[in-house]
Amino acid sequence: MWVTAGTSLVLLIVMFLRGVTLPCAWGGIRHLVQFDSHSLLDYNTWGFASANILYTYFFGFGIYTTLGSFSHFRHSFLRDVLAVSAASFAMEILSAMAVWSVLGYLMCAMGIPMEEATSTGAYLIYGTLPQALCKTSQPMLWSALFFLMMFLLAISSFIVLVQVLVAIVSTGLRRWCRKRWLLVLAVCGPGFCISLVYCSEKGGEWLSLVDGFAAIVTPLVVCLLEVIVFVYIYGAGRLARDVEMLSNTFVSYYCYFTWIATVPLVLLLILASHLLMMIRSSMYFLAISTTLAIPIFSLFYVFRSVFCKMLQGAATPWGPKAPSDRAAWERFCAERPVRRRFFHRRF
């Protein structure tokens, strides 16, 4: 993981240095930072921005909840949040400047306006940028480095997603998953066979459909359900109390406001805008198909065992599994009782 992510970062820096040294590169960068007030009033801008945030931080894919369970019980995850946010922000700025510098060079090399040189999605990676790199000196070298960087970025994300899926399956089916390599093979094998569809003649269209419709609604629904469970069912006050115990960090009222009001409202608006766009394009069935796995798995989880045992397990109070951690958590909760569901401090 460190090799793939570190090498891709080095290659991104190399591509950035090469891009800013091309002719007319700064024209593309100026187009990137140019302020356009009309775009702020377009809901598509906010939809694309939300999709970019979900893909950048992988919200709603189960990465943080699954991998975070392997950390120590008391862990300063606030430091991890700041580090991940700062690193992602720096990578976004660096990659954006690298891409737009190459687009600026393509604009001058082909003599076309910037609006025609820009593109999004898979065509930007497999069409526009390789076309621009082919017009530079030593095009084979820069094209090879570019696709190597994209491969390393993709494989690093794929490793994490597979690890999350394997951890979830191995936790739920311990009796059937004694050999980890067989489970990894069972996950990667069918995934590889299904992904061969994208290499067919119509693969680009399938990739655009899945990337534009099916892969954006499910993370939004999962994020919204997580907010409902943790903030409104478990309680924002209890959540803040647990955060303060685990990280030894004071939770401000700004976090309360974002948890209770801002985050669910923004998620609802973004989800509604995406659903409206999908209904207009008659692709809503593709987006809903992946989301249907959530209620189906929930019903399977409820009815797979005896109903009385399910009720007994649901009534069991939540708490850490280790006895020492549970004792410390209960002592901390006794010292700071939750007086209200959303706030636990005294007024």
pLDDT-derived band at 181 (thresholds 50, 70, 90) equals confident
Name every residue whose Cβ is closer than 8 Å to that of residue 125 and which is 6 or more positions away in sequence: 150
Q: Do 147 and 222 belong to one domain?
A: no
Q: How many CA atoms lie within 13 A of 112 on its CB side?
A: 11
User: What pLDDT does 7 receive?
Assistant: 83
Q: Do 219 and 280 belong to one domain?
A: yes
User: What pLDDT does 10 receive?
Assistant: 86
Q: Do 130 and 230 belong to one domain?
A: no
User: What pLDDT does 301 receive?
Assistant: 66
Cα–Cα dist 345/237, whole Å:
8
* Max CA pair span of the chain: 72
Cα–Cα dist 157/154, whole Å:
5
Q: Is the pLDDT of residue 243 over 70?
A: yes
Can you tell me whether residue 277 is helix, strand or coil? helix
pLDDT-derived band at 231 (thresholds 50, 70, 90) equals confident
284-314 pLDDT, tens digit each: 666 667 777 777 777 776 666 554 455 445 5
Residue numbers in the known binding site for Na(+) are 153, 157
- 314 within domain boundaries: yes
Q: Which tops the pLDDT comparison, 264 or 118?
A: 264
- 325 within domain boundaries: yes
User: What pLDDT does 308 receive?
Assistant: 47
Q: Which tops the pLDDT comparison, 7 or 294?
A: 7
User: What pLDDT does 207 receive?
Assistant: 76
73-86: average pLDDT: 82
User: What pLDDT does 177 receive?
Assistant: 67
Torsion over CA: 31, 34, 37, 40 (sign): positive
User: What pLDDT does 117 receive?
Assistant: 65
Q: Which of 156, 185, 215 lies at the terminal end of a domain, its last residue?
A: 156
- 185 within domain boundaries: no
Q: Do 150 and 231 belong to one domain?
A: no
Cα–Cα dist 251/228, whole Å:
19
The end-to-end CA distance of the chain, in Å, is: 47
pTM: 0.78
Cα–Cα dist 94/282, whole Å:
36
Residue type, 163: Q
Number of structural domains in the chain = 2
Q: Do 148 and 239 belong to one domain?
A: no
Cα–Cα dist 277/287, whole Å:
11
81-99 pLDDT, tens digit each: 888 888 888 888 888 888 8
- 182 within domain boundaries: no
The answer to whether 290 touches 217, Cβ cutoff 8 Å, is: yes
- 177 within domain boundaries: no
Q: Would you call 217 exposed, middle or buried from its count of C-beta atoms within 10 A (0-12, 13-18, 19+)?
A: buried
User: What pLDDT does 167 receive?
Assistant: 82
Which range (6-15, 34-43, 209-218, 322-331) has the least confidence?
209-218
Q: Do 130 and 229 belong to one domain?
A: no
Task: Work out the number of other CB atoms within 10 angstroms of the CB of residue 22.
Answer: 21
Residue type, 333: C
Task: Work out the number of other CB atoms within 10 angstroms of the CB of residue 29.
Answer: 19
Burial 53-67 (b: 16+ CB within 10 A, else e): ebeeebbbbbbbebe
Q: Which of 156, 175, 194 lies at the terminal end of a domain, its last residue?
A: 156
User: What pLDDT does 316 receive?
Assistant: 54
Q: Cα–Cα–Cα angle for 8, 34, 12, nearest 5°?
A: 10
Q: Do 152 and 211 belong to one domain?
A: no
Residue type, 306: V
Smallest CA-to-CA distance from 96 within 49, 37, 46, 62 is with: 49
Cα–Cα dist 124/260, whole Å:
38
User: What pLDDT does 347 receive?
Assistant: 38
Q: Do 63 and 145 belong to one domain?
A: yes
The answer to whether 187 touches 165, Cβ cutoff 8 Å, is: yes
Torsion over CA: 310, 223, 84, 258 (sign): negative
Q: Which tops the pLDDT comparison, 46 or 236?
A: 236
Task: Work out the number of other CB atoms within 10 angstroms of the CB of residue 296.
Answer: 9
Q: Do 211 and 130 belong to one domain?
A: no
The answer to whether 205 touches 286, Cβ cutoff 8 Å, is: no
Q: Which of 116, 137, 156 lies at the terminal end of a domain, its last residue?
A: 156
Q: Do 211 and 149 belong to one domain?
A: no
- 302 within domain boundaries: yes
Residue numbers in the known binding site are 153, 157
Cα–Cα dist 282/304, whole Å:
35
130-148 pLDDT, tens digit each: 888 887 788 888 888 888 8
Residue type, 262: T
Domain ranges, residue 71:
1-156
Give me the residue label for tokens 């990894």.
184
Which one of 49-58, 154-163, 284-293 scores highest in mean pLDDT?
154-163
User: What pLDDT does 239 receive?
Assistant: 85
Q: Do 21 and 140 belong to one domain?
A: yes
- 36 within domain boundaries: yes
Q: Do 3 and 144 belong to one domain?
A: yes
Task: Work out the number of other CB atoms within 10 angstroms of the CB of residue 15.
Answer: 22
User: What pLDDT does 312 receive?
Assistant: 47
Q: Is the pLDDT of residue 24 over 50?
A: yes
- 145 within domain boundaries: yes
Note every long-range contact of 280-286, with CB atoms under 8 Å and residues 24 or more positions apart, other chains counting.
281/213, 283/209, 283/212, 283/213, 284/213, 286/209, 286/210, 286/213, 286/214
User: What pLDDT does 159 receive?
Assistant: 85
